[in-house]
Amino acid sequence: MGQQVKKKKNPAALVKQATARLEKEYGVPSPKPYRNPLDELVQTILSQNTNDLNRDRAYTSLRSRFPEWEQVMRAPAKKIAEAIKVGGLANQKSVRIKKILTIIQERYGALDLDFLKKTPVQEGMELLGSFNGVGPKT
């Protein structure tokens, strides 16, 4: 009697099959609209060590209190911390955000990272990683 050998299924085929079933059941998801790169960077910093709900609340509160990034950069860290306290670690994050905005202004002459849209990924990761508190995960 010979043993039957179970044939392993191709992982890519399994993923494709699962995706088709999910899309049939729930539809194709729409990608979230991205903000400009500076907005995304600040929101990502706010997401550190918290959940999405508190990150979003902190971001909304920050932008409500300081509609322009220049206002955030010029504000005392204590005032920034008050605006983002719902996100947790507000004292650390406020100093980090203020410092990063200052560096961007000094390096590039404006609070704008739109050039990253055309920058090679590795180069963009190195640039962002040069900011204190921004690592590969961020």
Give me the torsion for CA of 30, 35, 41, 44, rounded to 10°.
-40
What tokens appear for 74 in the block? 């010029």
Active site residue 137: yes
What tokens appear for 44 in the block? 């990502």
- Distance, CA of 97 to chain centre: 13
Which of 7, 9, 24, 137 is flagged as catalytic? 137
What tokens appear for 72 in the block? 């955030």
- Would you name the residues annotated as active-site residues? 137
